[in-house]
Amino acid sequence: MQSAFLYTARRLSHQTKADHGDIRFKSQSKILELVPERDYSAPAAKAPNLSIEGDDSMKRIVGLLLQFLCLFGSVLPASAHHSFAAEFDDKKPVKLEGTVVRFEFMNPHSWIHLDVRNPDGAVVRWAVETGSTNALFRRGWRKDSLRAGDHITVDAFRAKDGSNTANANSVKLPDGRQFNGASSREGGQ
């Protein structure tokens, strides 16, 4: 098929070059059409009509690609997110007092990592999930709101799997200010 197409194009080009001067081919849906070369040296008044021409098959490909990207892009955030009830138990509130090890101010959720001393004296590392950076920012948080070494109190809800993970409801900072944790329990995203 392709060799026959090229043969036809070559044969036409040999026949028409002698008859019509310089020409070029424009391909649309496998149909060859002779299109004369534009004369760019012509004055503006005599310039040919410059309309936007495009290959229909290329338009289809670009259109399908854009549709695919829109569909795929809209699915990604939904598949990466989870509900509060999927991971945390609102019937198991915990109050954590400890020292901040690290504060990750990031999306889709920010995390506070802190060392908490158990009643038996052992230090246990907890990871506390908060809302998104935008939700925290609207509630007064900044990326430097917590620093390593700060002693804080967190009211949270424990993870269903029993791990040392919780979802913050509120956080009391060392200076006494109390911030909402933008918990997904209350739709704080």
Is residue 13's pLDDT more than 90?
Answer: no
- Residue reference for tokens 């230090």: 123
Which amino acid, residue 145? S
Task: Give dist(CA 60, CA 164) in Å, integer.
Answer: 52
pLDDT at res. 43: 62
Pairing of strands 88-104, 111-117: antiparallel
The most confident of 77-86, 152-161, 179-188, by mean pLDDT = 152-161
Pairing of strands 178-180, 165-172: antiparallel
Is residue 2's pLDDT more than 60?
Answer: no
Interior/surface letters 89-108, b for 16+ CB within 10 angstroms, e for the rest: beeeebebebebeebebeee
- Residue reference for tokens 């620093």: 147
Is residue 114's pLDDT more than 80?
Answer: yes
Contact 132, 110 (CB under 8 A): yes
Among residues 113, 97, 80, 87, the alpha carbon closest in space to that of 185 is found at 87
Contact 54, 81 (CB under 8 A): no
10 Å Cβ neighbour count for 160?
13
> What is the DSSP secondary structure assignment for residue 108, as one 8-state letter?
S
Supply the mean pLDDT for the chain. Answer: 75
Please give the average per-residue pLDDT across 52-60, as a whole number.
67
Is residue 9's pLDDT more than 70?
Answer: no
Structure tokens at 143: 């990326």
Is residue 151's pLDDT more than 90?
Answer: yes
Contact 89, 159 (CB under 8 A): yes
10 Å Cβ neighbour count for 184?
24
pLDDT tens-digit readout, 26-44: 554 455 555 566 666 666 5
